Structure 1
């Protein structure tokens, strides 16, 4: 029987950038057995030993930066001008989660009780299956991989078929760091075998980042098993610009939040609500800045907007734009200003839509591309209602100089994170989590460790007479 292969079609030029064999059932079986064996020993190591390995792994990966950046461009289209940012973010998150591991995993003293000793410990779950997405392949994976290892687990990483070389970079860095055999493994699997692996009793937790449909598939595959599942799924992140906002600052940050990574960011800005008092000024400045982007090959250091991950993704976004325009929206950027933007390719110009409403998919359904809809609102209350009018809830951002007003609005926003005067950023000190169809569970911060461990109670009677 011939070996199935995974072909990576590059968004740069449509060429086959890499071709890798998919794992067989026998190879997956071996990987699972090795992970169980390695974890049985690893769970008894000290936090200091785990930290030493995690830091060596981090240093090994960061040393690959010059190879990783162009590799990212070829696999998913990130301009080389920005690829280094993912490496820096990787290092920040990895080091932070190592730094807080001792405190986060420490035993909890529940207080004195005469004649007894009682405490709660955090026990590792076992083997963690991480299924990561392509849009920030290193950042998404490191959110799970490093804290899972620090918590005493073994990890198997199955990355998106668009960026399989990223998983292999993790494996190389762990090998260079001297990780025990089987403690970490990268594996390329078909959808069918991924589902079988989720159902395998040797897997103790699944961390998935991807689409809502993908999340449902993961839950279905795990049906009948009492294991934890972490899901980071779709998003339609909103922003609200109040009349007292620093408008130039808001424009600069929201344009970047909408168009960075060609709009393919989990917490990218997808819909903006701007107070009527500053609406015209904001829209004018937003368009002016958006027009300065350079769309082109991600291998060109001057490019600030690369291709979308694949032609079908660009076609989907074009469809949302066209549907909105048919429904009465106005597109304010002439696509001719971006000669590289052509139908039938993954290259797509940035677009700003006004006269939009919540009957349009572009304001309701995830776009994941370089287009933003801007609506005029008359009050905080209207903005809150519209921001919450979504099946998703990852992040929201508020743009104001009034901290008290922002805090009051924050309390009414239905998302996992609310920003004030920033967006499209993940602080490793805070839990990365969502509500509604965005998913469940959390990564990063002290809270993230709670999902990669289980509590164990210890109750000792120390006097029997």
Structure 2
């Protein structure tokens, strides 16, 4: 008898979804179907693949209101923002459909008399995508869309917190005419997920999640010599220079820190501000944080929803309390947010000053609505502190001097560097990280490379 997966909504703690978990026989059946379907799909013309994928996006977008409601109830994002995820998926998916023509075309080399030489990009086979709950569609589509366009089959294991997202995506592709077996979802236990990773049929794993979970995935695949994409989070910094537009910087940083209740791998979790503008920045930032409305995410007036679980909120509370005990100053009174309630997922936002890197809140990923603001005296000190991290996903500098900001950006250890913005994925740019933020690349034309293998053709004439 199958075990059951239960999803509790952070909105009110109720059971929102119950699904049976796949057993080994069901997993093996899905693998067999995927392998069989993929053999024909890889020989399907790219234009036909593009048409089906485009139609799937149309179908998905047409259901945006229902999808938004499901996002809100599964992971707690305010309903006023949930449709934004549908728009984001559409932007990324349509870009990848268009980019696939260039990304997947054969590579030609210089002419050599008597020879024809080129490099084709062949599908790998079956790709396993393991997706998280915090941006349940955006993170998944980054790998699913290029994998299918490249001629692969996809198996999706979504977070137990957001199982309906897997079902919605699979249904959209099926309705669009994608051959049966090419895109399947499996609700699985951790043990059976490891079993699937170890299957000879799986040729690539795309995982988004925590560093410890990424280590488990990597260990499960050890010795198989398959490709892996690991996006493992961050402790992303921002630096506000003395010449920055303070109003724009404060507005952008605060939104980047508190959107999605801070539950974003590329959200701003620490900010360094030049001493000449430090006091003014803090004043503006505190005023912005106090404007948030913490409440039930199904209320259209709510701008800050609950964290995904009470344990996640407790983790952030512990970081804040520990920092304050070490000398940090908390600028936000939780009683200003009536819905704030210890022991629940509803957590008031917090902004801390007098922080340093001896405090966990400045070095350990928080994944919640808290921001540490540290004063610096120079560009050199800011860059040194930005690089003082085990992570390297994104980093931002706010300055009117673009040339100087870019010069500093070349010194920052990060996968994506922003000037005067943050917390955004441009599908035309490679999404990648360094250090414990993971390895591999999604999005852009480069995102197709990990999902294909090069095959060289060396033809002698005569």
TM-score (norm 1): 0.99
> Could you list the per-position Cα deviations for residues 157-183 of structure 1 after superposition, in whole angstroms to 9, with x for gaps in the alignment?
000000011000011101110110100
Q: CA deviation at 1:234?
A: 2.2
Stretches of structure 2 lacking an aligned partner (at least 5 in a row): none
Taking the aligned partners of 1:204 and 1:100, their CA distance within structure 2 comes to 23
Identify the residue that residue 248 of structure 1 maps to in structure 2. 247
Taking the aligned partners of 1:274 and 1:121, their CA distance within structure 2 comes to 49
Identify the residue that residue 204 of structure 1 maps to in structure 2. 203
> Could you list the per-position Cα deviations for residues 387-445 of structure 1 after superposition, in whole angstroms to 9, with x for gaps in the alignment?
00000000000100101101110100100000001001000000100000000000010
Identify the residue that residue 124 of structure 2 maps to in structure 1. 125
Contact 2:392 2:434 in 1 (8 A): yes
Q: Does 2:314 match 1:315?
A: yes
Contact 2:307 2:347 in 1 (8 A): yes
Contact 2:8 2:17 in 1 (8 A): yes
Q: Does 2:230 match 1:238?
A: no
Q: CA deviation at 1:3?
A: 1.6
Taking the aligned partners of 1:92 and 1:375, their CA distance within structure 2 comes to 35
Aligned residues: 462
Contact 2:349 2:370 in 1 (8 A): yes
Q: CA deviation at 1:226?
A: 1.0
TM-score (norm 2): 1.00
Taking the aligned partners of 2:212 and 2:406, their CA distance within structure 1 comes to 34
Q: CA deviation at 1:286?
A: 0.2
> Could you list the per-position Cα deviations for residues 26-84 of structure 1 after superposition, in whole angstroms to 9, with x for gaps in the alignment?
11111000000011010011110010010011111111111011111110000000001
Identify the residue that residue 62 of structure 1 maps to in structure 2. 61
Identify the residue that residue 336 of structure 1 maps to in structure 2. 335
Identify the residue that residue 150 of structure 2 maps to in structure 1. 151
Taking the aligned partners of 1:301 and 1:45, their CA distance within structure 2 comes to 45
Contact 2:50 2:97 in 1 (8 A): yes
Contact 1:275 1:378 in 2 (8 A): yes
Identify the residue that residue 171 of structure 2 maps to in structure 1. 172
> Could you list the per-position Cα deviations for residues 323-356 of structure 1 after superposition, in whole angstroms to 9, with x for gaps in the alignment?
1011110110000000111111000011000000
> Could you list the per-position Cα deviations for residues 350-377 of structure 1 after superposition, in whole angstroms to 9, with x for gaps in the alignment?
1000000001000001000000000000
Describe how 1:252-291 pairs up with structure 2 within 5 A.
Answer: 252-291=251-290
- SS of corresponding position for 2:187: coil
- SS of corresponding position for 1:31: helix
Identify the residue that residue 49 of structure 2 maps to in structure 1. 50
Describe how 1:25-424 pairs up with structure 2 within 5 A.
Answer: 25-424=24-423
Taking the aligned partners of 2:104 and 2:269, their CA distance within structure 1 comes to 37
Q: CA deviation at 1:266?
A: 1.4
Taking the aligned partners of 1:407 and 1:399, their CA distance within structure 2 comes to 10
Runs of 4+ displaced beyond 6 Å: none
Contact 2:233 2:266 in 1 (8 A): no
- SS of corresponding position for 1:137: coil
> Could you list the per-position Cα deviations for residues 291-337 of structure 1 after superposition, in whole angstroms to 9, with x for gaps in the alignment?
00000000000000000000000000000001101111011000000
- SS of corresponding position for 1:180: coil
CA RMSD of aligned residues (A): 0.5
Contact 1:170 1:186 in 2 (8 A): no
- SS of corresponding position for 1:204: strand
Taking the aligned partners of 2:100 and 2:178, their CA distance within structure 1 comes to 18
